[in-house]
Amino acid sequence: KDELGHLPAVQFSVTRACQENGCSDTLTIYAILCSEGACIESDRFPSPDNNRYSQVVNNNYNTLDLSSTVVESCAIGNNPCSVFVSVYKDCVGVQCEADLFRAAYSTQNGMEILPSTCTEGHLCNTPVGLVSGGSTKFYAAYLNPSTTTDLVVQLESCSGSVQAFLCHDASKCDDVFRPTAASHEYSVASNSWTNFGATTGAWFISVIGAGANTTTNMFEINIAHSSSVVELKTGAVSAAASGDTIDVSWSAPTADVALTSGAMTYNVYAIPTASVSKFSTASPCGIALAAFSAGVTDSVGYASTSATSYTITGLLPYTAYTVNVVANCGPNCAQGSSVAGKQKAAYAAAVVTTGKATPTHHTPSGGGLSPGA
């Protein structure tokens, strides 16, 4: 249990070898929770036909999140909660092609080691993290000692509110491994990039959740040990509704370096405003999770485009929609930058209300959604 007497949330993440170039199929994580001593034999073998929780692994999202509430409901008395997890490949036919992937799990109380690729010239992000109000999640990154270059970190708040504290120099923190609000070397505000300059060695990060202990805050950490990371600067979207259609336009982002023409792509979202209240529309992960949470494909509009305008059709009539755009700057999008992995930035959202539905039926542009899209 944590310092407040609660069982921590659990995350199980799968990283596939094919993800960097895009996988052609999907995996699915299945899980069963049971109170130790009350588990039956079949609980140990989750499957498509025998599971309580599942998560499809795709190119955008790869984590099964089990909240503190879910874990606590599994425990009986003082017995711990056992979590059994399996990963199945979704394929057609008798034989499936071999798949190479890495699985990792973390809980709120443990320290998660950030992948080495994040600290070797790549830009990468952690799976969506969960931390309850007043609690802390810990991370560590070991930067290549033979490469003294910039450390760049972004704390992206998906829902709720979090703050990150960092320590590198042990003489400046009471506990170098677990920096706190009262004793830390650096702090990072949500949804902005912080460059700590040329550095190397071990860095330790604490992410502290705001609110009551029943509050679940969600976040991502974007990190790179590279001088090539640039921050995308975005403006606001323009949106106008006509019937059940919304016309959306925006300007291309800017940066401190030239951006390669044609290398930028955009995710366009129209989400019923009633579904976004607990998510942050200032962050890419918050927007994607809000769209996924809305859940019904005939009420959420989504599209991916390389243009700077798009028309979303087939939305619910007489409904307030929050409209937003996420800019994606892929590898080599920024001239002079060789950082691998997408850099994302959200625009300022607009809220518009649709009118009367058109006589013919439409399917929302772009179809279904996955978290992290």
pLDDT greater than 90 at residue 246: yes
Question: Residue 364 pLDDT > 80, yes or no?
Answer: no
Q: Write out pLDDT tens, residues 223-241.
A: 888 777 778 889 999 999 9
Q: Burial code of 353-366, b = ≥16 C-beta within 10 A, e = fewer?
A: ebeebeeeeeebbb
What is the per-residue pLDDT for 340?
46
Residue 297 above 60 pLDDT? no
pLDDT grade for 3, boundaries at 50, 70 and 90: low
pLDDT tens figures, 39-71: 888 888 888 889 999 988 876 667 888 877 788
Number of helical (H) and strand (E) elements in the chain, helices listed first: 2, 24
- Token pair listed for 372: 């992290």
* Mean pLDDT value across residues 314-321: 92
Measure the CA–CA gap between 175 and 72, rounded to whole angstroms.
Answer: 29
Query: What pLDDT, in 10s, does the model give residues 199-222?
Result: 888 888 999 998 887 788 899 998
Q: pTM above 0.75?
A: no
133, 107 contact by CB (below 8 A) = no
| Cβ–Cβ under 8 Å, residues 343 and 263 | no
CA dihedral 184, 186, 192, 193 (to 10 degrees): -140
